[in-house]
Amino acid sequence: MRGVILDCDSLGPDDLDFSALHNLPVTWTIYGNCPDSEVIERIGDAEIVMTNKTAVNALTLSQTPNLKLITLPATGTNVVDLEAAKERGVVVCNAVNYGTASVVQHVWSLILALTTNLQSYHRDVMDGSWAESGSFCLLEYPVRELEGKTLGIVGAGDLGKGVAKIAQAFGMRVIYAALSGRTYTDDLPRVELNRLLPMVDILSLHCPFTPQTKNLISSSELALMKDSALLINTARGPLIDEPALKQALINGEIAGAGLDVLSVEPPVEGNVLIDSAVPNLIITPHSAWIAVESRQRLIGQMVENISAFLDGKALRKVN
């Protein structure tokens, strides 16, 4: 059986072990990256395709008749036309819960950096401000304790619950957002989002991007938050109205934000938030998931998906 990996470089393969993948009864052709114009040619007569960010659309599916399985080293499935795949009998599988520990760790690195003003104090050490101060310490920037503060979480999956677990260790109160139009069957403490926003000291987003959650946090929501509150987003960029966030930070409507995602990635044409004039903002390059252990789990799940398919079963099937 022939398999193709379209964009292996997106997994940062240099520090990963691919031996289990190569031990499958599959002959692999591996590409580092794949331009959209070459997807059909590179899939060719392959029966199995692994793709992370390279799109497999209806046209591609119509011209790759041997294709039987698409396995995604990611949870999101938007790079595949699921309806077209289903019509053509192509099984699509994804990965789940592989990066929980990595993302949760990253969320708290953002929160801690902002609450301790870590970047500002580091800068003052490196530029000589501390040496010139005449004091054993600097007190230039506010530092706040997390104990007793309220963390609001939007999204109660493994990531949201993982962030909550660490919050409880810090002695924080955790409340989950109840989004309009949704029914919840769990017993988690939930408050309608607009009622939750004035209560929180930190708001962390962990929900999927859908038409209903686009610009979930915009100017009206930011206006409801405390001017001492922080906003954290490691989910999807379009959950936040970026121009509104920029103005809220500049105007001091909230105290800071930590983002691992933007509306367009990479920001090849820039982004309104990539501006040194925006205070108390940390942006990382969609790197919350990239711990080596997390990426190795992805490979393990891809092997499981393919092995199950070869045995006539479906594992993590999304269509």
Q: Token pair for residue 238?
A: 């379009």
Contact predicate 66/41, CB 8 Å: no
Burial of 235 (0-12, 13-18, 19+ CB in 10 A): buried
Residues classed as catalytic: 236, 265, 286
SS (H, E, C) the chain: CEEEECCHHHHCHHHCCCHHHHCCCCEEEECCCCCHHHHHHHHCCCCEEECCCCCECHHHHHCCCCCCEEECCCCCCCCECHHHHHHCCCEEECCCCCCHHHHHHHHHHHHHHHHCCHHHHHHHHHCCCCCCCCCCCCCCCCCCCCCCCEEEEECCCHHHHHHHHHHHHCCCEEEEEECCCCCCCCCCCEEEHHHHHHHCCEEEECCCCCCCCCCCECHHHHHHCCCCCEEEECCCHHHECHHHHHHHHHCCCCCEEEECCCCCCCCCCCCCCCCCCCCCEEECCCCCCCCHHHHHHHHHHHHHHHHHHHCCCCCCECC
**Residue 233 identity (one-letter amino acid):** N
